[in-house]
Amino acid sequence: MRVFRKLALGASLLALSLSACSTGGSGATVKIGSDGFDEARVVAEIYAQALEAAGFTVDRAGIGLGARAVTAAAIESGQIDLKPEYLGGGLAYYGGTPGRSSAENKASLQAALTSKGGGITVLDFTPGQDTNAFVVRMETATQFNIAKMSDVAPVQNELKWALATDCPTNPLCAQALKDEYGLEPTDVTLLAPCSGPMAEALLNKTVDVAELCSTGPEIKTNNWVILEDDKATQPAENVAPIVRNDLLAKVDRAKFDKALNDVSAKIDTKTLADLYYAVSIDHKDLKDVASAWLKSVGLVSG
């Protein structure tokens, strides 16, 4: 809650000037959003705290907003200014063909976003990645002798599947499964991607195959098996902040970019998995997890 005080005109102008300096050269508030799953939420919160430490004002209302279709529309419309994006998935959403090269995926995603929402910029990506993964229980892998996706076609309709809600229209999901592996399973439940219900369905044996994130903490906890994507259908999925250009025009660009790029440089795959685990399995507070990590890597003072 803001408290306003009556000031003389001169004092008001001075206060506004100081406020502009303290928020990176502008009084603009940075509206941060993210997809709904815990890994994206905690990365967005890390962005928020890193920006606040650099003197920017942040609005977190968009964190956990929904699936990519929702957050893409939000950043294009200006409902949010900034979100973590997964390079391969983001590029596929915008009609591109992602590959295994992180740099090429970033360049192609940038080309796709240049004309969206008045212009959106892709900042530095993380060394760490989180790809889509098709996961089974250990006993299922043993029973059907499956270790890679190419093994699954002969037994696909003996298995119950849980796939992401956008799978039918996502070229990296239904189309890739059909084209590369001959998979068109008939017993399919659509659930939120990388979600608690998706993992619970696999744990409770409601389904036999679940589409999860490769860094998903449930995989390690339950000793589940990630089926090898032996035909390399899933692209490089490094995480990068994507930011509206109209927001970038209002802030101290060097300070803003540095705050976020410094974060990205520190996030490897293990970090993504650990952050995800802390929020999803240990049920730690999102802000506490983000704060502890930022302090641990020296990006904010302890």
Residue 210: exposure state from Cβ atoms within 10 A (0-12, 13-18, ≥19): buried
**pTM as predicted:** 0.78
Taking Cα atoms as reference points, which of 33, 38, 41, 109 lies closest to residue 77?
33
Q: Which amino acid is at 281?
A: I
The 10s digit of each residue's pLDDT in 46-76 is 999 999 999 999 999 999 999 899 999 999 9
pLDDT of residue 26: 56
Residues 154, 152: Cα–Cα separation, whole Å: 6
User: Using one digit for the tens of pLDDT, what is the confidence trace for 172-223?
Assistant: 899 999 999 999 999 999 998 888 899 999 999 999 999 999 998 899 899 9
- Convert 80-141 into a string of H (helix), E (strand) and C (coil): CCEEEEEHHHHHHHCCCCCCCCHHHHHHHHHHHHCCCCCCEEECCCCCCECCEEEEECHHHH
* Amino acid sitting at position 286: L
In the chain, the domains with their CATH numbers are 16-129+236-296 (3.40.190.10), 132-226 (3.40.190.120)
Residue 4 pLDDT > 50: no
pLDDT reported for residue 287 = 98
3-state SS, residue 72: helix
